[in-house]
Amino acid sequence: MTNLQELLQTQAVSLTALPPLALYIHFPWCEKKCPYCDFNSHQIKKGGINQSGFDETRYIQALIKDLETELPNTWGRQVHSIFIGGGTPSLLSPAGMDELLCAIRARVNLEPDAEITMEANPGSIEAEKFAAFAKCGINRVSIGVQSFDDEKLQTLGRIHNGAEAKQAIAIALKHFKSVNLDLMYGLPNQSLEDAKVDVQTALSFGTPHLSFYNLTLEPNTYFANYPPKLPSDDEVDAIFEQNLNLLSEAGYERYEVSAYAKKNQECKHNLNYWRFGDYIGIGAGAHGKISFPDRITRQIRERHPETYMSAMESKGNALIESKVIESKDLPFEFMLNALRLTSGVETYTFSERTGLPLSVISKALAEASKKGLLDENPNTLKASTLGLRYLNNLQELFLN
């Protein structure tokens, strides 16, 4: 065992201050399971409870009880942002959303102007419903557009078409303070010109935030078993560079690997993840990270909605894993997140958020710098241009 490994085995975590706290809520149902999706989502069966296909009342009660179980771990701490992800949370009724958000406000110290984001798919967007969501307190919406090309959308298994996506964006812009569009590139049979049209269409709406993801074939998905014909690596690289230039010319800054924003329009909730902040995670399959002065913990909940609700009702919690992150794993977990930010983080943040001295990663930092993967400024932990291109290689240097 090396001296560094011995140090990490015995190094005690000591946090001088707790990081910002956020709340993540998982909604596990979708109208249709997409063939590329590896998220914890379950297709609803129409004609079920209240014709919605899921028991909204029962799930909301489970979420509220789940939040209550976490309150002793976060007493006195303010919640700075809420993110309701899925799945398709916009399938909730406005009354259900209002009940949920009112229950949260009654139980946590929520920042007065907290960012509250809800994910939505164009096929589930209605003007009247979105106006009601805004009245409930939702002030940011993230729309899963993926593409404006009808043929590409059909291949991706989406339930909306390009015209419906455009209509959904127009509705969202009328009701919410901030709107993000999720788009994918490297789609089956996508040409450079196809990708350009998608980006230009997205830019035409002037939303303050855009996210671009390269389609990848994830394990345990339909596409993994029956892979479509995707563009070559060189074609995908060309599409990415084209996207980058188009977004830059339109005034968007790439602040994270897949995220682009106009000035001061970054997603606060996701910034908290990447800066190794804390978050309560409630709902089926939700993950959480909570820090204490002497330790940092992670939690995972039951994945299936029925199992999750039953566990909350019978046992009062749905945890399947709750553990303290070992000191030897903290450097990788921190750098895995922080290096995704194009501006990186200030160097002192490592010790502030992990409770470990910077010396435990000095060897990895030196190796990364030698390979040209790390920015040379000693005051920041930041990937170089080369490091962002080969981010996985850079992050792996901090494993154990």
Whether the predicted pLDDT of 124 surpasses 60: yes
Stretch 208-234: mean pLDDT:
93
Poorest-pLDDT segment among 6-20, 74-88, 108-122, 199-213: 6-20
pLDDT for res 47: 57
CA dist 282 to 64, 299, 375, Å? 9, 10, 37
Give me the mean pLDDT over the 192-220 stretch: 96
Q: Under a CB-based contact definition with an 8 Å cutoff, are residues 349 and 338 in contact? A: yes
pLDDT higher than threshold 90 for residue 369: yes
How does the average pLDDT of the chain come out, rounded?
Answer: 94
Query: What architecture is domain 327-400?
Result: Orthogonal Bundle (1.10)
pLDDT tens across 105-123, in order?
A: 999 999 999 999 999 999 8
What one-character DSSP code corresponds to residue 231?
P
Q: CATH topology for 21-272? A: TIM Barrel (3.20.20)
Asked whether the predicted pLDDT for residue 89 surpasses 50, the reply is: yes
Q: Are strands 42-43 and 29-30 parallel, antiparallel or unpaired?
A: parallel
pLDDT band at 361 (very low <50, low <70, confident <90, very high): very high
pLDDT digit string, tens, across residues 300-345: 999 999 999 999 999 999 999 999 999 999 999 999 999 999 999 9
Which of 76-85, 145-154, 212-221 has the least mean pLDDT?
212-221
pLDDT at 365 over 60: yes
Q: What is the mean pLDDT of residues 356-383?
A: 96
Mean pLDDT of 221-225: 90
* 42-51, 90-99, 259-268, 370-379: range with lowest mean pLDDT: 42-51
Model pLDDT, residue 38: 85
- pLDDT bin (cut points 50, 70, 90) of residue 9 is low
pTM: 0.94
Q: What is the mean pLDDT of residues 156-178?
A: 95
**Helices 305-314 and 56-70: crossing angle, nearest 10°?**
60
pLDDT of residue 1: 46
Domain residue ranges in the chain: 21-272, 327-400
Nearest to 339 by CA among 285, 294, 397, 279: 397
Average pLDDT over residues 190-215: 97
Complete DSSP assignment for 318-385: -EEEEEEPPGGGHHHHHHHHHTTBTT-EETHHHHHHHSS-GGGGHHHHHHHHHTT-B-S-TTEE-B-H
pLDDT tens-place string over residues 47-74:
555 556 799 999 999 999 999 999 999 9
Residue 203 CA to its chain's centroid (Å): 22
